[in-house]
């Protein structure tokens, strides 16, 4: 057997995040990305895999309207703050903002040229703005209710604006005359959607009065009223050149004698189905047979249908948005001459709510089954992060799930719900095979057989455990069969939170809110041992895949490992809140845990040590799934985020080795540059290698050069903004130490002399860096000032003690006296006619030599504080 290598690190490879919480949205002109509102922020989402490309933070108010310019370069948004903002999508910066409405902006649209923006408000006004100038060009008032929808005429030469309101009217505004061209009143409820036919002759309006009206744009008269018998949310025209139109044109019915040109359009509404209509004869030519929208389990409650729809550009199909934040991408298929079908190409989930459990499914574990606060189980394709299909059947929230592969080879999923039942699903047919009814409380835990694969165990809030058999299941029947319970036991005094089946199906372990875990022998549920020791409820249990032990995770922030006889073997501590999940990896030698603190931790069993901690969640991490083959991790929790983690131990090791190798090579380049006196290159390499000590040594050497300033400026001129910021950080650290502050101040002076104030301000975080420099700099200058003043006091004291005298005064006195004596002697000699002869006596020589010695001593003591011996004699001789 090969030696077992521990996992040391994991990396987050993919993430399924929430990007839409309901409200306005828009699609780019090429259909590659979506602009969605998520609470008070705006998410730019890749339409292929639901990945968030960028996020625009709002003003803490819910966003009420968004629109894109025709070239997708500008984004317009407005929120409850009534502030209209223009964003540059290349830089994600707000380039312009203004206020104009007295209430929230409910809808907005940009004209085909991109120069005008129309906004419709809850204040019953319609305003048109100049995008570049940000000023209002048109002010329209006339609606008697909230303006709900707005659109420009698609022809830029026809300057018309259409608006619909909840006063059941549609108004046409002429931008040339700045007046209302027509008021079209035929609806009896709010108008929610407008569209124009391809030939631009007709305007279609859909309302909540369950009808679609077709208006003639020449006479502004209602040509046709099509009853749809459902509350509508959107109407879309089907234009020629699309796959929808090509298929429908083959299905065209015989022409009637009516002079009205036929228009194809589709509608969506509360029923959650797509229907396609022909205006000629007001007939429905296609109706979706089965709805892909989850309907509420309560018949008295409002049904969850579609809230919006739009035709995607570039013949990409139809996009429908549901009330539970799903984006459904449809294409129309033709099976035969008379048979059409709507195919669901892709399903993106905008908001998952709280994730309570999930498991990997599929042979290659490329799917992830997720249970959220809904009655359905969503199965995601990990390649595209789109929801492949939904398992619907429970009438209560699904609380738990587990997977196994049946003896037939089919992948099965077992789910437990708040409706007190368990269900068995076949993923190939996406149908429910069996239903187990018998619990009197919510089913909070299920666990499938590991070896025999012919049973599963369920635990409920009714304190009981049941063993269910797969016997009697028929894959061919469409109706779910009733599952039989083989054994039942009252296991705990409180709710059962978790279950785990041993690798060889010999035992099952249960964890409960009564702070205990129990081990039961299968299949008769005979009690074996009770695990006591936790101080709070137990949220997770799992058998080791190799050893006869059980791992439990509790609300007391600890995890414990137990022997099957009930004795505690080890205790693991490290979480700061309740531990909610724990699972073994690396053949039982390691395990991972998640908790209410939002952390994912990696542990080694033998050393009781947490070797890695990851913080990528903002709320409790309820769900943890581990791939049995790939050991890929998946975590999900209360923040509605699913993170996928892969083992990066080998990759990190290679990267560390490569970085070390590069560091050695670059270090050699650094030493070569120093030996060549190429300080500019050496400093650049020191910055790249992040070696502040070596950098300080280089700068110190530069300061000792003859032309230190020139060398320093030449070396610092090559630095970029990021390196200047790093240099400021180093200077801030050096400046705190008296031994290093002189070099730091010299380098700082050169940087300030070299850079302009504007360039310094542009350095990221310069304000904070300077705040750290100022106090220590003031302290250094104060110390220097005190030292300088101290030297003045020393000079004054020594001069007052006559130990020293100004050097210049003594020199001038000696020279003048010497010159005077020489002048007198020479004049006397000349007067007597004799040559000046000077024969120094012994006494004169002794006096001169003593004077010389004294003068040397006086010079020496000028800079000494200690009084030298003989100072008094010198003072006396000077006085004499």
What is the rounded (10 degree) CA torsion for 164, 170, 175, 177?
-150
Task: Record the pTM.
Answer: 0.76
Annotate 115-142 with DSSP letters as a single string.
SEEEEEETTSEEEEEETTT--EEEEEE-
How many Cα atoms within 13 Å fall on the side-chain side of residue 43?
19
Positive/negative CA dihedral, 558, 561, 566, 567: negative
Give every CB contact of residue 803 below 8 A, 6+ residues apart in sequence.
858, 861, 867, 868, 871
Give every CB contact of residue 415 below 8 A, 6+ residues apart in sequence.
371, 377, 391, 394, 398, 400, 401, 422, 423, 425, 446
CA distance linking residue 795 with residue 865, whole number of Å: 9
Tens digit of each residue's pLDDT (9 = 90 or more) over 238-284: 888 777 777 776 655 544 444 456 889 999 999 999 999 988 888 88
The tokens describing 380, both together, are: 């995601």
Tens digit of each residue's pLDDT (9 = 90 or more) over 608-621: 999 999 999 999 99
Tens digit of each residue's pLDDT (9 = 90 or more) over 355-372: 999 999 988 889 999 999
CA distance linking residue 431 with residue 454, whole number of Å: 18
> For tokens 């299905």, what's the residue?
251
Average pLDDT over residues 826-844: 47
Tens digit of each residue's pLDDT (9 = 90 or more) over 403-456: 988 877 888 999 999 999 999 999 888 889 999 999 999 999 999 998 888 899
Per-residue burial over 676-702, b if 16 or more Cβ lie within 10 Å, else e, is eeebbbbbbbbbebebbebbbebbeeb
DSSP state of 2: P
Q: Where are the alpha helices (H) located in 62-200, listed in sequence order?
A: none
What is the rounded (10 degree) CA torsion for 231, 220, 114, 207?
-10
Counted residue by residue, the chain has a size of 880
The residues pairing with 466 across neighbouring beta strands, listed in sequence order, are 458, 488
Cα 298 to Cα 25, 140, 302, 307, 818: the distances in Å are 29, 44, 8, 19, 124
**What's residue 196's pLDDT?**
94
In 335-430 the beta strands, taken as DSSP E runs, fall at 340-349, 355-361, 367-372, 376-381, 386-392, 398-405, 411-417, 421-426
In the chain, the N- to C-terminal Cα span, in Å, equals: 107
Positive/negative CA dihedral, 856, 858, 862, 866: positive
The tokens describing 731, both together, are: 């200077």
CA distance linking residue 742 with residue 411, whole number of Å: 72
**What's residue 832's pLDDT?**
45
**What's residue 696's pLDDT?**
87
pLDDT-derived band at 814 (thresholds 50, 70, 90) equals: low
């Amino acid at each position: 057997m090969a030696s077992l290598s521990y996992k040391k690190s994991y990396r987050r490879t993919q993430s399924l995040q929430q990007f839409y919480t309901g409200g306005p949205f828009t699609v780019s002109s090429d259909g590659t990305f979506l602009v969605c509102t998520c609470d008070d922020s705006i998410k730019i989402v890749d339409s292929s895999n639901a990945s968030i490309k960028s996020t625009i933070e709002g003003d803490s108010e819910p966003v009420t309207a968004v629109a894109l310019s025709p070239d997708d370069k500008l984004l317009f948004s407005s929120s409850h703050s009534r502030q209209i903002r223009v964003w540059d999508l290349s830089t994600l910066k707000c380039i312009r903002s203004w206020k104009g409405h007295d209430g929230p902006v409910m809808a907005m649209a940009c004209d085909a040229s991109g120069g005008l923006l129309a906004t419709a408000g809850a204040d019953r006004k319609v305003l048109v703005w100049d995008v570049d100038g940000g000023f209002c060009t048109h002010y329209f008032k006339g609606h008697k209710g909230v303006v709900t929808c707005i659109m420009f005429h698609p022809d830029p030469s026809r300057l018309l604006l259409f608006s619909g309101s909840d006063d059941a009217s549609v108004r046409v505004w002429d931008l040339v005359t700045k007046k209302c061209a027509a008021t079209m009143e035929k609806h009896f409820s709010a108008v929610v959607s407008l569209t124009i036919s391809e030939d631009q002759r007709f305007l279609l309006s859909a309302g909540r009065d369950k009808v679609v009206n077709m208006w003639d744009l020449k006479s502004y008269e209602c040509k046709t009223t099509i009853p749809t018998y459902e509350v509508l949310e959107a109407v879309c025209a089907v234009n020629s050149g699309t796959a929808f139109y090509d298929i429908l044109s083959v299905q065209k019915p015989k022409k009637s004698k009516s002079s009205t040109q036929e228009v194809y359009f589709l509608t969506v509404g509360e029923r959650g189905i797509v229907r396609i209509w022909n205006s000629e004869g007001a007939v429905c030519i296609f109706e979706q047979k089965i709805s892909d929208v989850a309907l509420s389990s309560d018949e008295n409650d409002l049904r969850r249908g579609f809230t919006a729809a739009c035709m995607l550009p570039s013949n990409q199909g139809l996009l429908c948005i549901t009330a539970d934040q799903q984006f459904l991408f449809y294409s129309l298929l033709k099976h035969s001459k008379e048979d059409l079908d709507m195919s669901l190409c892709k399903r993106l989930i905008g908001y998952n709510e709280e994730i309570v459990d999930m498991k990997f499914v599929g042979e290659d574990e490329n799917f992830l089954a997720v249970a959220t606060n809904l009655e359905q189980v969503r199965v995601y394709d990990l390649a595209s992060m789109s929801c492949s299909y939904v398992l619907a059947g429970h009438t209560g929230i699904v609380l738990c799930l587990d997977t196994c592969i049946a003896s037939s080879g089919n992948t099965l999923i077992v789910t437990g719900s708040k409706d007190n039942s368990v269900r068995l699903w076949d993923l190939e047919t996406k149908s429910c095979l069996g239903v187990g009814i018998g619990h009197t409380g919510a089913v909070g835990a299920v666990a499938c057989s590991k070896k025999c694969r012919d049973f599963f165990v369920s635990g409920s809030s009714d304190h009981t455990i049941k063993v269910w058999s797969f016997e009697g299941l028929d894959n061919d029947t469409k109706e779910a069969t009733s599952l039989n319970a083989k054994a039942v036991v009252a296991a705990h005094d409180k709710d059962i939170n978790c279950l785990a089946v041993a690798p060889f199906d010999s035992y099952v372990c249960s964890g409960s809110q009564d702070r205990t875990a129990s081990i039961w022998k299968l299949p008769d549920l005979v009690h074996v041992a009770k695990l006591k020791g936790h101080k709070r409820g137990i949220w997770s249990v799992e058998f080791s895949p190799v050893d006869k032990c059980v791992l439990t995770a509790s609300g007391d922030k600890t995890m414990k490992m137990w022997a099957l006889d009930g004795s505690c073997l080890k205790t693991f501590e490290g979480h700061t809140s309740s531990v909610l999940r724990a699972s073994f990896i690396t053949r039982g030698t390691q395990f991972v845990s998640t908790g209410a603190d939002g952390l994912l931790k990696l542990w080694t069993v033998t050393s009781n040590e947490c070797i890695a901690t990851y913080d990528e969640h903002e709320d409790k991490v309820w769900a943890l799934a581990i791939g049995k083959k790939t050991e890929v991790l998946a975590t999900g929790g209360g923040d509605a985020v699913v993170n996928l983690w892969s083992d990066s131990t080998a990759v990190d090791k290679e990267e560390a080795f490569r970085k070390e190798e590069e560091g050695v090579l670059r270090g050699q380049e650094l030493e070569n540059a120093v030996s060549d006196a190429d300080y500019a290159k050496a400093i650049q390499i020191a910055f790249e290698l992040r070696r502040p000590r070596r950098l300080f040594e280089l700068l110190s050497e530069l300061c000792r050069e003859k032309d230190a300033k020139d060398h320093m400026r030449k070396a610092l001129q090559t630095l970029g903004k990021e390196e200047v910021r790093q240099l400021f950080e180093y200077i801030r650290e050096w400046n705190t130490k008296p031994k290093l502050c002189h070099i730091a101040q010299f380098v700082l002076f050169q940087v300030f002399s070299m850079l302009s104030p504007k360039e310094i301000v542009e350095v990221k975080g310069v304000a904070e860096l300077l705040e750290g420099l100022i106090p220590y700099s003031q302290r250094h200058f104060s110390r220097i000032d005190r030292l300088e003043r101290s030297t003045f006091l020393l000079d004054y004291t020594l001069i007052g003690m006559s130990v020293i005298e100004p050097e210049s005064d003594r020199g001038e006195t000696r020279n003048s006296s010497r010159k005077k004596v020489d002048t007198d002697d020479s004049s006397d000699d000349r007067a007597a006619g004799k040559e000046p002869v000077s024969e120094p006596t012994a006494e004169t020589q002794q006096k001169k030599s003593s004077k010389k010695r004294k003068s040397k001593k006086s010079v020496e003591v000028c800079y000494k504080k200690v009084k030298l011996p003989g100072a008094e004699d010198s003072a006396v001789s000077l006085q004499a």
